[in-house]
Amino acid sequence: MQLCLTLVGNMQSLNLLISTTCLFLLLFSMHLFFAKRGNKLLNILLSVIFFARFGQVLTSLLFKAGQPHALAFFHQTFTPFYFAAPACFYLYITGFLQDRKHLQKIEWLHFIPALLAIIHVIPLHFSVTTDWNLVGTQLAQNGYFSLKAKTGLFPPYFHYIFRPMLVIGYLCATWIEVLRLKKKPQQPLESEGRTWIIFFLRAATFFQLLGLLPIILRSLHIPYINTYFIILNCLALLIILLYTLHKPYIFYGYLLVAVNWTKKPATQQIDMDDLLVPAIAEDTMQHPVTVKKINLLATQLADYAFAMKEIMEGEQLYLVHDFQIIDLAAKLNLPIHHCSFVINKHIGKNFRDWINGYRVNYFLKQYPLKSDKITIEAIASEAGFKSQATFYNAFKKETGLMPTAYFAQDSGL
């Protein structure tokens, strides 16, 4: 009796683990698919990847629960997503690195395997009846890449040979493309973007290799229990998802992209510098940022200010176009309101003026070296300004003159 209770308890724990993983994956996939913020193409590609993984975990739950009818429906529904996911992984990584917002016409060819999968499952309703009890048994015993029962139009090797080949092929192609792009002299990713893409690439590679491991074990005639792989997959997914909860760049910047997490009134995250150049004269008397009362010792203020200046100058963070105070706070592991308070009270500027001061100084150093090769606007972009209006506003605020008048005065004209 005690053994039976233990087995029941273990089964319930396993079902809870799988169900929780399913919920997280479904929430992320749906959120990304319907998100209106961020890069729509990348959101949809990442959504398909999560949805395919959700399908795998859900069908694991169904064949563990012994539900052949539900398994039949969901397995056939998710099959096209299984064949689209490797291509989406490749296109997401390369699209992220190249900052692309649309697929080229030739890139739609990557979805031919998914189209074949749709053709594979459509005739099921008027073909020979599939033994879903056998399908569930094979999935439970050996995993997804061992399915040798006929489930549609194409022969069984459509699953157990063609699909692993897709996974391996796209995994190799993705890493080759990443290494190739790394050697190109291009604009480097922002720090949070680099952190996210490395994190995602490594995590996805881990799960894909983990999925291929049963094939290797079978080829070497090494016995294994597929349930352990399901548990390991679910635990790893939950650990990674919990990890992202503590990384604002990852969780809110790339997974919950619809959340405007940088919009905080106390820190003035809205960039109000993008005004017309004629309005510069009216912007010379900017009101200080209102922050709540904070009790910090004088030594703490000095230490924080020193740390902020050191990391800003040492890593040249001001060269990143969209660098915000929340990014600085995360790098220093400080509360955002502390950063805002120190910049306003100790440094004597608001964050936007402070970072633009660095950018203007960088521009002043680069202009004599590059003015005969590239335009003022191009040098300003290198300095971290994301628009001409922002640059001219900041330059007038720092120097009291527009760039042309400043350099004319400097040359003695």
CATH number assigned to the domain comprising residue 117: 1.20.1070
Cα–Cα distance for residue pair 244/45, rounded to 1 Å: 19
Residue 111 confidence class, pLDDT cut points 50, 70, 90:
very high
pLDDT at 327 exceeding the cut of 90: no
Q: Which residue type sits at 188?
A: P
244's tokens: 């992202």
Question: Could you give the CA distance from residue 134 to residue 276 in angstroms, rounded to a whole number?
Answer: 69
Tell me what the mean pLDDT of segment 405-412 comes to: 71
Same domain, 319 and 345: yes
Q: Which residues have CB under 8 Å from 271's CB, separation 6+?
A: 352, 390
3-state SS class at 291 = coil
C-alpha 157/C-alpha 214 separation (Å) is: 16
Cα–Cα separations (whole angstroms), residue 263 to 39, 82, 285, 384: 18, 37, 23, 20
If asked whether residues 272 and 244 sit together in one domain, one would say: no
**Mean per-residue pLDDT for 52-81?**
82
In the chain, the amino acid numbered 322 is D
Q: Are residues 242 and 347 in the same domain?
A: no
CA distance linking residue 125 with residue 119, whole number of Å: 12
Residue 275 has pLDDT above 50, yes or no: no
Is the pLDDT at 125 greater than 80? The verdict is no
Cα–Cα distance between 388 and 390 in angstroms, integer?
5
Same domain, yes or no, for 191 and 297? no
Q: Which of 203, 225, 255 is the last residue of a domain?
A: 255
- Indicate whether 227 and 98 sit together in one domain: yes
**Residue 367 included in any domain:** yes
Kindly state the greatest CA–CA separation across the chain. Answer: 98
What is the chain's mean pLDDT, rounded?
A: 77
Query: How does residue 278 score in pLDDT terms, banded at 50, 70 and 90?
Result: very low
Alpha-carbon distance 289 to 319, whole Å?
23
**How sure is the predictor about 113, in pLDDT bands with cuts at 50, 70 and 90?**
very high
Same domain, 96 and 170: yes
> Which region holds residue 316: left if phi is over 0, alpha if psi is between -120 and 50, else beta?
left
> In this predicted structure, what is the pLDDT of residue 280?
39
pLDDT category at 36 given cuts 50, 70, 90 is confident
* 260 within domain boundaries: no
Q: Are residues 247 and 305 in the same domain?
A: no
Q: The whole model's pTM is what?
A: 0.59
Number of domains in the chain: 2
The pLDDT of residue 262 is 42
Predicted confidence at residue 240, as pLDDT, reads 78
**Domain's final residue, options 255, 273, 294:** 255
Across 41-50, 147-156, 404-413, least confident range: 404-413
> How much of the chain exceeds pLDDT 90, in percent?
15
**Residue range of the domain that includes 76:** 2-255
DSSP string, 190-237: PHHHHHHHHHHHHHHHHHHHHHHHHHHHHHTT----HHHHHHHHHHHH
Q: Which amino acid is at 381?
A: S
Overall average pLDDT of the 237-251 stretch? 72
108 and 89 co-located in one domain:
yes
User: Under DSSP, is residue 287 helix (H, G, I), strand (E, B) or coil?
Assistant: coil
Those residues with Cβ within 8 angstroms of residue 337's Cβ, 6 or more apart along the chain or in another chain = 266, 267, 291, 292, 294
More confident residue, 377 or 273: 377
pLDDT at 190: 55
How far apart CA 342 and CA 364 sit, in angstroms, is: 26
359 CB contacts (<8 Å, ≥6 apart)? 318, 319, 380, 383, 384, 385, 391, 394
142 and 242, same domain (yes or no): yes
Return the SS3 of 99: coil
| pLDDT over threshold 80, residue 396 | yes
Top pLDDT among 257 and 72 is at: 72
Do residues 224 and 217 lie in contact, with contact meaning Cβ atoms separated by under 8 Å? yes
Among 76, 269, 259, 95, smallest CA distance to 174 is for 95
Measured distance CA(29)–CA(9) in Å, rounded: 30
pLDDT at 312: 87
In the listed set 255, 274, 292, which residue is the last one of a domain according to the structure? Answer: 255
Q: What is the pLDDT of residues 156-195, one digit of tens each?
A: 888 888 988 999 999 999 999 888 876 654 444 555 677 7
Same-domain check for residues 239 and 269: no
Q: Are residues 353 and 233 in the same domain?
A: no
Which two structure tokens, joined as six digits, stand for 130?
A: 């599939």
Q: The CATH number of the domain where 336 resides is what?
A: 1.10.10.60
153 plus 62 within the same structural domain: yes
More confident residue, 39 or 360: 360
